[in-house]
Amino acid sequence: MILRTFGFSEFGFLLSALLWTVVLTIIALSGGGVVGFLIALARTSTQKWLRIAAATYIQIIQGIPVLMILFLSYYGLSLAGLQLPPLVAAGASMTIYASGYLAEIWRGCIQSVPKPQWEASESLAMTRAQQYRYVILPQALRISLPSTVGFAVQVVKNTSITSIIGFVELARAGQLINNATFQPFRVFIAVAMLYFVVCYPLSQLSRWLERRLHARSHH
Amino acid sequence: MPEVIIENVHKSFGSVEVLKGVSLTVEPGEVIALIGRSGSGKSTLLRCINGLEKINSGRIEIAGHTVSADPKQLRELRRDVGIVFQSYNLFPHLSVGENIMLAPKIVKNIGKVQTRETAEKVLQLVGLSEKFDAYPDELSGGQQQRVAIARSLAMQPKVMLFDEVTSALDPELTEEVLNVMEQLARDGMTMILVTHEMSFARRVATKTIFMHQGKIWEEGPSKQLFGDPQTPELRQFVKSDVK
């Protein structure tokens, strides 16, 4: 057997796999964003049963490893006769994972809008939906930006876990190339660098948003 | 027919009874000042009138509406009853003009041109026409409070409630807010205000109500009430304020 060396074409393969990491992150954040937003609304509802249901969902998702969500949707559903392609299983699992955390982050942001804002808008005869739409959510959104972008960094890194079910994203591509070249040091440094190149600007963006938020609130 | 009828209202927070059977009627155009020590129940009474606090028993009618727990009925009531708070509570992400136009637009479905006209009118009334595009955090406390009054007025309420609206302001800013309120009173607005400004109550309020321990302790035409207090509690209260 002839060992390949880690060269341009191998690096190109890593780059194309990085694209799948990014795609998976986007699926997780948009899917998890929609579900998480609805859960956050339920969590701050005036209906007690909705609050309890949402809190339970968040506790369950945060209380189990992403890996279990992944196994359950990939192996579990295939036992039930539903054979999900790796991308679908990976996308669904990351969506569920992200929704549990985004819901909790955003619940905190909604609740950090001062209570008098609710009272003032309520006293102007707005419906609850109008209060959310025009008064509470615009303020919560601004508060949520730093922590949401910060969480996106976690999602980028955690997509690596989907390599376990054979989804070829950046981490899985690294393993494959290492198997062919047996140059683990070079290969995984390259993989780590690529993760860093994506995550570092996001972290900086999050910190910048955080500083801007504080600068404005002391204004 | 009275604009506000309050009948034997009781209100408790947990085991603490803060309103112990309060009754009061307010005629259209009257200005009622609620005075008393902190904890006497005056702010709670005001907040019960527009349903921000739920009463335990009794009855409140205002501008033809009955205060109830039903959200839809409460919204009907609040279209006709404005309230201004101690902490202004402007919406910080909206400009002054947007703060004022928001509720008329989305609650009353009034068109753009007309809401803008109304907003300019009420802003002129509080003397802040030039601040239409400013943001709340660019204004002084007194200016913010005047915008809050304008925001309430834009809904064209029949009754206005004021909850210690000058308590957070420096003396020189207090004056500009009180002037706006005095103007409103002169224009015939029915007003109920919780206040610590005794000279203002005396001068502007048609009737002053002294609350003590969750009850109306003493009430009467303002000049008479301040000039000749009947109970030792009110005498003590008026005296301590002069000092």
Task: Note the pLDDT tens digit of each residue in A78-131.
Answer: 888 888 888 899 999 999 999 999 999 999 999 999 999 999 999 999 999 999
CA distances, B211 to each of A104, A110, A113, B231 (Å): 44, 37, 33, 12
* B49 occurs within a structural domain: yes
* B148 occurs within a structural domain: no
Q: Which domain holds residue B197?
A: 4-89+159-242
Please list every residue in chain B whose beta carbon sits closer than 8 Å to the beta carbon of residue A116. Answer: 85, 87, 89
Residue of A nearest to B75 (CA): A125
What's the number of domains chain A is made of?
1
Q: Under an 8 A CB cutoff, do B79 and A121 touch? A: no
Statement: the pTM of the whole predicted model exceeds 0.95: no
Please list every residue in chain A whose beta carbon sits closer than 8 Å to the beta carbon of residue B76. Answer: 125
Residues B48/B19, Cβ–Cβ less than 8 Å: yes
Take residue A10 and report the two structure tokens written for it: 């191998």
Residues B168/B141, Cβ–Cβ less than 8 Å: yes
Q: Under an 8 A CB cutoff, do A124 and B155 touch? A: yes
Q: Show the CA angle centred on residue A56, arms to residues A54 and A61, nearest 5°.
A: 100
* B13 occurs within a structural domain: yes
Q: Under an 8 A CB cutoff, do B52 and A128 touch? A: no
Residues A97/A32, Cβ–Cβ less than 8 Å: yes
Residue of B nearest to A219 (CA): B137
Q: Tell me, what amino acid is at A71?
A: F
CATH number at residue B194: 3.40.50.300
- Across B28-38, b (16+ Cβ under 10 Å) vs e yields eebbbbbbbbe
Q: B164-215, pLDDT tens digit by residue?
A: 999 999 988 999 999 999 999 999 999 999 999 999 999 999 999 999 999 9
* A97 occurs within a structural domain: yes
* A2 occurs within a structural domain: no
Q: B22-67, pLDDT tens digit by residue?
A: 999 999 999 999 999 988 999 999 999 999 999 999 999 999 999 9
Please list every residue in chain A whose beta carbon sits closer than 8 Å to the beta carbon of residue B157. Answer: none
Q: B126-161, pLDDT tens digit by residue?
A: 999 999 999 999 999 999 999 999 999 999 999 999
Q: Tell me, what amino acid is at A111?
A: Q
- In this predicted structure, what is the pLDDT of residue A81? 82
Mutant choice from B43, B72, B75 vs A, greatest count of A C-beta within 10 A: B75
Chain A contact for B83 (CB, 8 A cutoff): yes
Chain A contact for B91 (CB, 8 A cutoff): yes
Q: Which domain holds residue A83?
A: 20-169
What's the number of domains chain B is made of?
1
Q: Under an 8 A CB cutoff, do B87 and A123 touch? A: no
Q: Under an 8 A CB cutoff, do B85 and A116 touch? A: yes
CA distances, B166 to each of A111, B170, B178 (Å): 27, 8, 8
CA distances, B213 to each of B8, B57, B147, B191 (Å): 15, 17, 34, 23
* B124 occurs within a structural domain: no
- In this predicted structure, what is the pLDDT of residue B242? 54
CATH number at residue A25: 1.10.3720.10
